[in-house]
Chain A
């Protein structure tokens, strides 16, 4: 499989990125801090007040290295890319299928099945790792309910119904998410998902990781020539990366939820790393953000056997592989879209 290239995260405030030959040069207070050859990079993500020269932007575009700007807290601001490229036939097929509710519901059913299946494994693992956990019964009930949702999903071809089942399963899943947190319970607790803004440390972690994940998926989709904005489960809404969000469903639990839990349970993040702002929104301090980024990068290096390809790949390539499979499916090489199923 393709090689997993590094993502360069620039978190130093006031840093300046410039092109120097075929390398990215990172300057801070007029001193060169780092030089990285462009061909070793998979993408560049800038957090907060980080500036780039137009020539560096051109270099990134030329080498298909996505360059994104996020706020310090990881909210997406902007992205730089070169001329629109890729396959117009593929994109038009994507639009046609997206307009076709029956075809859309087939893809939606695939990704929602994978989402529920993978979420169930998060729960199942908790039971395996801590057989004596207090929430045992609650988790077991959730597993059963979500199993029923899956059974119903099998027979469903209506997009609204599929979305309803997804919602039910997500409620059940997050309903026992608090049982999965075992360390620093007084600071890290979970009552419900809050995204805009996250109102507690667990939600802050989840939101930050989801942002990183959606960034990777968007880049992967663009890399294979798909339009990240046009989804099947997520219907068109200006400004929303519908297809990226569709594809996120199958990877959320496996990549982001699990990492959130292990960062908390292994006490790699501590309650002091989170601050509540006046508005009630919870933000992470810089050290915590770095810890999360390092853990994320490390996780991406791990190898797994892809359940459909039956080929060894690094976890960080999952967005790329799924985007590729989506493209191949849309172009008629596969008889359905195979989502990532955690096994």
Chain B
């Protein structure tokens, strides 16, 4: 159980699973560099949240729902939560009958099903379970390209990974240390590449050795 003051953004959990250093750079160092991908994602989510809610006889769609979990110490917004009419669910204000919540997360790209996406969806489900007092066993992603929905079963294994990641995330915030860099293929696509400097900060460069250059004059032909 976390105190309200210690709640962390749900998005940080996703960043943590993708790359702990990226998470540290964004949330501890407060570094943000927008590129085309992040801008498109931001606009997509804005648009989803601005769309109005829909209520039909057997489904109710709520957008931009504010959610939290005391157990994970997370707070955030769910893009879309669908409420499906069922026999054994919860009741909703202004609607008759019983309903089962079903989170849907919007993604701009094509289906890739990263662990970080799944953890994010699972964390949303855990928030809903805690807030509404009902088990949420499934959720879905909606991918922009092609426009297609993919269902995810929230397994025990995924739940364990989500809890563990949330715990590690809180640990990083408590220590206030940004994890070190290690260069990988995925680094090239990261919008924080320039601030991270994974090739330079990966612990391979030695400053004393570099400084030696200051004490030596370049040969004449080397003078710029």
Contacts and interface: CB of A to CB of B under 8 A. Distances in A.
Interface stretch (A174-182, A187-195, A214-222, A325-333): A325-333
Nearest to A113: B214
Given A113-B214, A334-B200, A124 B28 contact: no
Contacts of B215: 113, 117, 147, 150-151, 154
Chain B interface size band reads 20 to 34
B178 interface: yes
Contacts of A339: 211, 214
A136 B201 CA distance: 42
Q: Which of A128, A224, A334 has the most CB of B within 10 A?
A: A334
Interface in A313-343: 324-325, 327-328, 331-339, 341-343
A87 interface: yes
Contacts of A121: 217-218, 223-224
Contacts of A86: 30
Contacts of B224: 121, 125, 342-343
B183 to A, nearest CB: 13
B96 to A, nearest CB: 46
Contacts of B178: 331, 333
B3 to A, nearest CB: 20
B180 A333 contact: yes
Interface string A124-149: 11011000000000000001000100
B206 A308 contact: no
Interface string A92-116: 0000000000000000001001101
Contact of A333 (B181, B218, B222): B181
B195 interface: yes
Given A89-B28, A113-B215, A309 B200 contact: yes
Contacts of A224: 31, 195
B214 A333 contact: no
Nearest to A120: B217
A293 interface: no
A287 interface: no
A230 to B, nearest CB: 18
Contacts of A338: 205, 207, 210-211
Contacts of A308: 200, 205, 210
A106 to B, nearest CB: 9
Contact of B213 (A85, A117, A325, A337): A117
B194 interface: yes
A281 interface: no
Contacts of B160: none
A76 B76 CA distance: 43
A329 B173 CA distance: 20
Contact of A143 (B194, B213, B217): B217
B195 A334 contact: no
Nearest to B207: A336
B6 interface: no
Q: Which of A150, A151, A333, A342 has the most CB of B within 10 A?
A: A333
B4 interface: no
Contact of A128 (B28, B33, B211, B220): B220
B28 A341 contact: no
19 contacts: A2-B194, A87-B29, A87-B30, A89-B28, A113-B211, A114-B214, A117-B213, A124-B217, A124-B218, A125-B223, A125-B224, A128-B220, A150-B215, A225-B29, A308-B200, A324-B197, A325-B200, A339-B211, A341-B213
Given A114-B214, A333-B178, A339-B214, 6 more contacts: A87-B28, A308-B200, A328-B200, A336-B207, A336-B211, A341-B213
Interface of A: 1-2, 85-87, 89-90, 110, 113-114, 116-117, 120-121, 124-125, 127-128, 143, 147, 150-151, 154, 224-225, 307-309, 324-325, 327-328, 331-339, 341-343
